[in-house]
Amino acid sequence: MSKKKVHNEASKKRIAEYAFKVFLKNGIKSVRMDDIAQAMKISKRTLYELFGDKEKLLIEGIKIFQETESRAYEELQQKSGNILESYLNWNSIHTEIIQGVNENFYHDIKYYDQIKDTFLRDKNKRDEFKKIFFKKGVEQGLFRDDLNYELLLHISSKIESSIYQLELAKTYTLKDIINSVLIVHIRGFCTQKGNETLDKYLSEHPNF
Winning range, highest mean pLDDT, from 3-7, 14-18, 161-165: 14-18
Winning range, highest mean pLDDT, from 37-46, 90-99, 151-160, 169-178: 37-46
CA distance 200 to 70: 25
Q: Which of 2-6, 8-12, 163-167 has the lowest mean pLDDT?
A: 2-6
Distance from the Cα of residue 179 to its chain's centroid = 14
Kindly report the pTM of this predicted structure. 0.77
CA distance 87 to 163: 20
CA distance 181 to 159: 8
Q: What rounded mean pLDDT belongs to the chain? A: 87
What is the pLDDT, as a whole number, of residue 3? 45
Cite the DSSP H helix spans in 53-173.
Answer: 54-79, 83-98, 103-109, 113-139, 149-165
Number of helices followed by number of strands (H, E) in the chain: 10, 0
What is the pLDDT, as a whole number, of residue 69? 83
CA distance 68 to 185: 26
| Identity of the amino acid at 204 | E
Q: Which residues of 101-115 are buried (b: 16+ CB within 10 A; e: fewer)?
A: ebeebbebbeebeeb
CA distance 116 to 1: 32
Q: Residue 24: is its pLDDT beyond 90?
A: yes
CA distance 190 to 204: 19
Q: What one-character DSSP code corresponds to residue 170? A: G
What is the pLDDT, as a whole number, of residue 205? 86
How would residue 148 be classed by pLDDT, with cut points 50, 70 and 90? very high
Q: What percent of the chain has pLDDT over 90?
A: 50
- Nearest Cα neighbor of 40 from 65, 12, 3 is 12
CA distance 128 to 102: 28
Average pLDDT over residues 162-191: 78
Q: Residue 150: is its pLDDT beyond 50?
A: yes
Q: Residue 166: is its pLDDT beyond 70?
A: no
> Would you say 198 and 183 are in contact if contact means Cβ atoms under 8 Å apart?
yes
List domains and CATH numbers for the chain.
63-204 (1.10.357)
Average pLDDT over residues 22-27: 94
Distances (CA, A) of 157 to 25, 106, 202: 25, 16, 24
Instruction: Summarize pLDDT for 85-130 with one digit per residue, the tens.
Output: 988 988 887 777 777 788 888 889 989 999 988 888 888 888 888 8
Q: Residue 133: is its pLDDT beyond 60?
A: yes
How would residue 142 be classed by pLDDT, with cut points 50, 70 and 90? very high
